[in-house]
Every structure is written in structure tokens, then in C-alpha cells.
Amino acid sequence: MLTFEQIKELIDLVWERGLQGLEIERQGFRIRIDGRVETPERVIVSDPRAAEPRSSTASPGTEAPAAADKPAPAEKKAAPETGVNGHVLKSPIVGTFYRAPNPDADPYVKKGDEVKEGQVLCIVEAMKLMNEIESDQAGVIEEIYPKNAQPVEFGEPLFLIRPA
């Protein structure tokens, strides 16, 4: 179980880094901190031993606003306009973007490559797990937005794919 101070530090981390959110599960204890600004931010701590979710404050069964006294973080910029119609493949998870399976290997794809549906385009590492990100449609890679080894957030554009 996390202490109140640890929970406050996690809230501040999510806020300062402009993260979409954070979820931790440890020994039956689970906390999810939502960092999105379009809905009221709340911290809900759920404990399987309790009948109701608890907030980070001492009163059970309530929800506490998270970081309500702080200004809204700057909006992340959208994918650059390229003038090419296509499908934007977005990151399904928060992690680190890698173009190749290892530092000595060639990248999975380059700009201009033709790809098939289900073909691996990159890896997003999250918590020491390498997650292969596959193309969800056939086409040609028009843009690769993040740089190699760059952190990416959930929903951040990774590739622009022009349908074949």
C-alpha cells in the first residue's frame, strides 16, 4: 500500500510531465491517476478488501480532486500536417519508441516503405516489456513522427500510412 505522501508525489509526477495517466497495481492494491484535462481529474484508490473505492484522503467512499490548484498543462501538439491523406497509427501505450529490434539492427520500416496489415512497424517499451506495434492497414509509410528512443504517450501519432 502506498502512503499519502507517495500518492501525492505520483499525482505531481503525472501533472508535471503532462502524462495521460498512471496506473499501479501492487499486492492487491491498485491506484489509477487520470491526467487528462478534458474531464474532472480524480484519484480513486481501490482496495479489494474494501467494499467501495477510496480516495487518497482519509474519508472512505469519496473522490478527491487531484491537483485542482494547479494550472492546466500545455496541450501536446498534434501530428504535423503533411498534405498527404492517410491513416495515422497512434501509440496504444505509454513507453519508449524504438524503430528497430536492437541498436545494431536495421529499422523495421523507413519512410516510403510499403507495409502489409499486421506487419511490425516499431517497438514501444513499457516497464521493460517490448511491445511490437503492428500496422493496422496496408499502405505506404509517409511519415514517422517520433525519433528513435523518444518517449511516447498513449494516443500519440507514430506513423502516417497512405492506403495502397
Domain chopping of the chain, boundaries = 4-65, 87-163
pLDDT at 146: 96
CB atoms within 10 A of CB 68: 9
Q: What is the mean pLDDT of residues 56-73?
A: 43
Structural contact between residues 124 and 96, judged by C-beta atoms closer than 8 angstroms: yes
pLDDT at 81: 52
Instruction: State yes or no: pLDDT of 11 exceeds 50.
Output: yes
- Global pTM reads 0.52
How far is Cα 73 from Cα 21, in angstroms, rounded to an integer?
13
Domain 87-163 bears CATH identifier 1.10.10.10: no
Higher pLDDT: 40 or 136? It is 136
Higher pLDDT: 10 or 73? It is 10
Q: Which residues are bridge partners to 30 per DSSP? A: 25, 46
